[in-house]
């Protein structure tokens, strides 16, 4: 019997890996995917401080994939289009703290953790209706995202 929505998209084995996952969180899938591609192969402490600056509106996340009609932002290296996804950044910070606690529990050095895998996938959408005039209704969907992060201890 298989449990629902708990598998990781990539399997890492070894004593130097820690991981964390959050299922069906209500943030924008596009924002989550862009943040996942941005934080890959970076140190966790650097990523958390950068995402805190994103929430403050001081630094932007480069939008490389979903960048139609996205304005240019100052301070992006090698790219122009970007945004400040505050709600998604807060979700990533919370997940990164959880991954760091998991690494600490496994006995890893939490100062030298590098993100080796970060993925965001669309979760299931909750359906609802938006009542309109004359007894009509418009469908609305609340989109959700599944995020997974795997970190490795580097020397």
Encode the chain (155 residues) as per-residue pLDDT tens digits.
444 566 888 899 899 999 999 999 999 999 999 999 999 999 999 999 999 999 999 999 999 999 999 999 998 989 999 999 999 999 999 999 999 999 999 999 999 999 999 999 999 999 999 999 999 999 999 999 999 999 999 98
CATH number at 131 reads 3.90.470.10
Q: Which residue has the tokens 């994103």?
A: 54
Rounded CA gap, 117 and 42, in Å?
10
How far apart CA 10 and CA 38 sit, in angstroms, is 18
Kindly state whether residue 7 falls inside one of the protein's structural domains: no
The pLDDT value given to residue 7? 81
**Does any domain span residue 33?**
yes
> What are the backbone angles phi and psi of residue 135, rounded to the nearest 5°?
75, 10
pLDDT at 155: 81
Q: 138 is in which domain, residue-wise?
A: 17-153
Domain count, the chain: 1
Give pTM, 2 decimals. 0.91
Query: What pLDDT, on a 0 to 100 scale, did the predictor assign at position 6?
Result: 65
Please, are residues 103 and 17 in contact by the beta-carbon 8 Å criterion? no
Asked if residue 37 belongs to a domain, the reply is yes
CA distance 40 to 30: 16
Q: Is residue 58 part of a domain?
A: yes
Note whether residue 3 is domain-resident.
no
Enumerate the H helices of the chain as residue ranges.
29-39, 44-56, 86-105
């Amino acid at each position: 019997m298989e449990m629902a929505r708990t598998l990781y998209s990539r399997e890492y084995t070894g004593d130097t890996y820690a991981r964390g996952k959050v299922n069906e969180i209500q943030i924008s899938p596009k924002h989550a995917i862009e943040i996942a591609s941005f934080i890959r192969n970076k140190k966790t402490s650097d990523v958390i401080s950068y995402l805190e600056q994103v929430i403050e509106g001081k630094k932007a996340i480069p939008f490389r994939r979903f960048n139609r009609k996205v304005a240019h932002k100052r301070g992006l290296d090698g790219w122009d289009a970007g945004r400040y996804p505050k709600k998604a950044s807060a979700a990533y910070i919370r997940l990164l703290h959880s991954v760091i606690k998991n690494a600490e529990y496994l006995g890893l050095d939490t100062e030298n953790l590098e993100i080796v895998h970060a993925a965001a996938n669309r979760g299931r959408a909750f359906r609802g209706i938006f009542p309109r005039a004359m007894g009509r209704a418009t469908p609305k969907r609340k989109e959700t995202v599944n995020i997974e992060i795997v970190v490795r201890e580097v020397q």
